[in-house]
Structure 1
Amino acid sequence: MINRRAAIALAAASTLAVQTSWAATSEPQSTPDTAFAALSQRALAHWIAVSPITATFQGDHHLDAELDDLSPAGRAKALAGSQRLLAELDRIDVARLSRENQVDAAILRNQLRYDVWGWQDSQDWAWDPQVYGQAAGNALYNLMAREFAPLPERLGNAVTRMEKLPAFLAQARANLDPARVPRVHAETVAKQNGGLLSLVDEFIAPHLGSLPEAERKRADAAIAGLKAAVAEHQQWLDKTLVPNAKGDFRIGAKLYDQKLQFALMSSLSRAEIRARAEKGIDEARAEMYRIARGLVKDLPAEPTAEQQQSGIEAALELAYAERPKRDAVVADATATLKQARQFLIDKDLITVPSDPVRIITMPEFQQGVAVAYCDSPGPLDVGQPTFYAVSPIPKDWSDAQVDSFLREYNSRMIHLLSIHEGIPGHYLEGAVTARFPSTLRAFLRSGLFAEGWAVYGERMMRESGYLDNDPLFHLVQLKFYLRTMANAILDQGVHVEGWTRDQAMDLMMRRTFQQEREAAGKWVRAQLSSAQLPTYFVGVQEQLDMREAVRAAWGSKFTLKAYHDAVLSHGAPPVRFTRELLLNEPIR
């Protein structure tokens, strides 16, 4: 999951001058490029003021003791700032900018318009309690999870933020209108709320003994105040918000189409995405059946629809038989990440970074949305580790639910998960693209690029011979690819077409062979989010189209390593911009 990243401060100016392609140069101050450089810095300064919590994540630590202001005055200030910056961008002659700055200008314009749309049209602050729950957790987690500064400094800022969190939670209660809040959002946040105190227990409490007595007393008081505030907020969630949550989780066609364009910056419309995904599912199922015929006896060459279904299911059962133990998912993810890394090196497919990566158990306040995610450090937190977070199996699941989960995340699927979240997926891409070519582009990292690259990596690894002698790996990789197409269809089915749970489960469990626990979790995720699930499919479609276009243009000079390194050297803008830069096409 890619968050908007924004961070700049006066003390960081020298760092930005090194890291950005638009930093101050010997050019006269009146040139379009220098005007855009100044505007970019003002935009970053605006975002850090709007969201100190996000700034901490990005690696700017000058407001690490502050929280976001989502009061009416704070929201009005944020909206006015984005509108002012848009007006300034309109006064710059974008056609006279360098090609890289033309890309950054397009990304900046889109983000500012997205900001305005969010404050005025979407208004998540009024109906989505996740806005506050995730922010509160990240306010502490992003301070303490990485050692970007001495412990006493980070601990002091965490204490200050804990002192301010009761007011932040009260702000959430004031802003949220139960009549607009979907019940699934209310229930999810009610389950996650206690995770805020788990963060205190894990990351803060163990270090309090190192503090001087006065600071220890202040920290104890802050923790006590936070515990009381979390308890008060939990009572409000359970007694007021959940029972009275009457909002529709479906955002509707108008808002969905608007959000889709902002989130993807793709030329594909909703209808085109749906048509490509439907066709892709049919093609992938046909290939899966071809593989199944080599694994299962007596499957007909020309199957009926039911014969195709049962034949693929029978072959997948062979893969499901090999799965990790309940408590071994993290250990298996660690081993497969190492194996994928060595394969890339041995095959010389891409330049592999040495940035540290750690596999961790997903923090409680993040659980309930995805099985795994990659948490890359902010572009200014150079040298800090990437976290590959894996959600534990809930303790209250029945044996049947655990079995369903482990059938989905069988041993071969764990390989693909490590490829997607780790290497050459999100970890590798995030480590490399944050360095090029501008800090602005790193902060506005495209979810479409990131997710498309990760899915592309799954296919590229298999095509390059990873587990080459294992047809079941190919079968499971195709099943994982089916999931990306189902994601795209599910998202618009839920938010535009009014799909029921039964329709969603049929797509996931029958057409794309997902297990019940995976499908049930994705049904919840589709309700909790919008316009994120299509990024996987649309992104990989554009990544594959770009590779073939560059292969044709480069001819005999094309190698996968040269291509992959060139792609990532442009950062992670929406894929179409990388393609235009590589092929020297006009920036559109």
Structure 2
Amino acid sequence: MKRREFAALGLASLALPALAADAGFDGQVEAFLEALWRLDPDAAVAAGRFEFAPQITLPGSAQRDRQRAFLKHWLAEFENRSDATLSVSQRMDRAMLIAKINSDLWQLDTLREWAWNPANYNPAGPLDLLLNTDYAPLPERLKALKPRVAALPAFYRAAQASLAPNGGVTREHTELAIQQAPGVLGVLDDIAKRAAEAGQAATFKAPLAQARAAVNGYGAHLKRLLPSARRSFRIGAALYEAKFAHDIQSARTAKATYEIALQRREEVLAGMQAQAAALWPSVIGAEAPPADRFALIGRVIAKLSERHVARERFVDEIRAQIPQLEAWVRDHDLLNQDMSKPLAVRETPEYERGVAGASIEAPGPYRPQDKTYYNVTPLDELTPEQAESSLREYNHWILQILSIHEAIPGHYTQLVHANRVPGKVKALFGNGAMIEGWAVYGERMMIESGYGASPEMTLMWGKWHLRAVTNTLLDYSVHTGGMTEADALDLLMRQAFQTEREAREKWRRVQLTSVQLTSYFSGYSEIFVLREQLKAKSGPGGFDLKAFHEKFLGYGSAPVRLIAAEMIRS
């Protein structure tokens, strides 16, 4: 899932355990947020505070100094606040704020991605959001956009000055930034078109020309850097373990999560082997099945994967799945839904392409009424061979599981729930492992409820679930153990039954990100363990699955570790 920065996260119908809220703490949080929006107007815009739209900050050393001072001040403020008078929700908020600030300081001074990742400097998101969100009439939105467009030359100069010299950037992130530049130019073209519609073409002519020149100049600068870019994209074991602790906030270490994923992999493969063996006669025929389990499972999956939607209907098919999934969740009483919150399936904007093929982009918590976008990258620009590979990966069964994960009852449903939780902290700074973990758990929830009930769906869910497990194995092995491209592709294709195109895209993704790929299995496994613990605690017939779902989502997008502690205690 790719969210807007500080995106709104997820639906809560059961209130958190009652405890009188401390109004002083709520006031402190509001003061922190208002100070944050002044420091970082882009974050304010992403959160839905559009009055900050005309304000500009440049990504240079002066801004980093201001950010460091801000974080240290507020860390002391929240650390000095006692939990004694806080409600359950507020205690979680305080813990999340302290963790977020510590993480930001670590990112700023230890990881220092601002110095080696040129793709960090992509201004298209706020520009596109301001242009296409109907928070005000178009002339007012254009008025807010104009200073941002005019500031792009200074923005890119500051970006260039921030990047490490003498080969200190990574080749992979430099290539990504170059690839995304046409998307930034596309957003500027959209602004020009809308300005013409509003009769403001003349006032935007010069700023847009200078902005385009700045984008092209940055791209040319990166192309000059590319031959000497020699920093490794692998962050190494020490940074990885620390980043896992900051980003995932699990009760486990990264290494322990990796070892649990290895165990889960064996369980999944054993089940898939039995399922594939049972399907072999009807899918393959009289030919004797191979003894090798990977060959057995792979042959059956490959044959079944020939059933897929037509290339030109890829996005339309996903769009058609949404009402079907809504009806299933409603008819099987799995959890409550809020049909008033709009979800729009759209083609992924060009400036966001290059990392994930599908994602959810949710509005900020200040404007929960705005649309949530289910972004899907179309297959138009692929060769016939590439398109066929993608279509086989997202075959008849797996395309449905993708929409379960991204939309219902996955990310979209969880995001709507979280906006109902008191306060804004959990929505603004939601825990990625809880969010991704819920989506993976949602897949299992639907299969357990009988969705798509067939041996084929069961086998394909095994393949999809194996993806989440393999994500952890891949990410940990690549960044801490130096796994090679050849070994990674073998893990993904032969051992996890992914098509070549999907595997190569995942190899690209693991070079461009770190730790995020572990969030799926880490969050899922903790949620599932919690569910089974509460089942055992309830005794035979005493466990209410819907009540569990509602209560779990009722805590918002807090780390599973914090939610589990409260649910076990209550």
**TM-score using structure 2 length:** 0.93
After superposing on structure 2, the runs of 4+ consecutive aligned residues of structure 1 that deviate more than 6 Å are none
Distance 1:68 1:553 in 2: 52
Q: Over residues 205-264 of structure 1, what are the superposed CA-to-partner deviations in whole Å (9 max), with x where a residue is unaligned?
A: 33223434xx431122222121111121221122x2212211110111111111100101
Match of 2:544 among 537, 542, 559: 559
Q: Over residues 33-87 of structure 1, what are the superposed CA-to-partner deviations in whole Å (9 max), with x where a residue is unaligned?
A: 3442233123212322332112111111121112343211110010111011111
Distance 1:453 1:120 in 2: 31
Higher alpha-carbon deviation: 573-582 or 414-423: 573-582
Q: How far apart are residue 159 of structure 1 and its match?
A: 2.3
Counterpart in 2 of 1:344? 329
Q: How far apart are residue 139 of structure 1 and its match?
A: 2.0
Counterpart in 1 of 2:251? 267
Counterpart in 1 of 2:72? 83
Counterpart in 1 of 2:6? 5
CA RMSD of aligned residues (A): 2.3
Counterpart in 1 of 2:447? 462
Counterpart in 1 of 2:37? 48
Counterpart in 2 of 1:201? 189
Distance 1:6 1:388 in 2: 14
Counterpart in 1 of 2:350? 364
Q: Is the 8 A contact 2:360 2:372 kept in 1?
A: yes
Matches within 5 A, 1:182-201: 182-201=170-189
Distance 1:50 1:254 in 2: 31
Q: Is the 8 A contact 1:4 1:445 kept in 2?
A: no
Contiguous gaps of at least 5 residues in structure 1: 8-19
Q: How far apart are residue 389 of structure 1 and its match?
A: 0.2
Q: Is the 8 A contact 1:193 1:230 kept in 2?
A: yes
Q: Is the 8 A contact 1:379 1:442 kept in 2?
A: yes
Distance 2:63 2:142 in 1: 26
Counterpart in 2 of 1:443? 428
Counterpart in 1 of 2:125? 138
Match of 1:387 among 373, 378, 388: 373
Counterpart in 2 of 1:223? 208
Distance 2:291 2:358 in 1: 33
Q: Is the 8 A contact 1:435 1:442 kept in 2?
A: no
SS in 2 for 1:417: helix
Matches within 5 A, 1:461-480: 461-468=446-453, 470-480=454-464
Counterpart in 1 of 2:231? 247
Distance 1:351 1:323 in 2: 31
Counterpart in 1 of 2:555? 570
Q: Over residues 440-489 of structure 1, what are the superposed CA-to-partner deviations in whole Å (9 max), with x where a residue is unaligned?
A: 12111111111000000111101101011x21111111111111111111
Counterpart in 2 of 1:17? none
Q: Over residues 406-456 of structure 1, what are the superposed CA-to-partner deviations in whole Å (9 max), with x where a residue is unaligned?
A: 111112111011101110011111111122122112111111111000000
Q: How far apart are residue 95 of structure 1 and its match?
A: 3.7
**TM-score using structure 1 length:** 0.90
Distance 1:108 1:498 in 2: 33
Match of 2:303 among 288, 308, 318: 318
Contiguous gaps of at least 5 residues in structure 2: 9-14
Letter in 1 for 2:6: R
Q: How far apart are residue 554 of structure 1 and its match?
A: 4.2
Distance 2:528 2:485 in 1: 32
Counterpart in 2 of 1:124? 113
Q: How far apart are residue 557 of structure 1 and its match?
A: 4.8
Number of corresponding residues: 555
Counterpart in 1 of 2:89? 100
Matching of residue 583 in structure 1 with residue 568 in structure 2: yes
Matches within 5 A, 1:484-563: 484-555=468-539, 556-563=541-548
Q: How far apart are residue 3 of structure 1 and its match?
A: 5.4
Larger RCO, structures 1/2 (Cα 8 Å, 6+ apart): 2
Match of 1:309 among 294, 306, 321: 294
Distance 2:227 2:39 in 1: 32
Q: How far apart are residue 127 of structure 1 and its match?
A: 0.8
Q: How far apart are residue 553 of structure 1 and its match?
A: 3.6
Q: How far apart are residue 536 of structure 1 and its match?
A: 0.1
Q: How far apart are residue 317 of structure 1 and its match?
A: 2.2
SS in 2 for 1:295: helix
Q: Is the 8 A contact 2:298 2:494 kept in 1?
A: no
Distance 2:113 2:529 in 1: 34
Matching of residue 378 in structure 1 with residue 379 in structure 2: no
Change (3 A) 1:279 1:305: farther
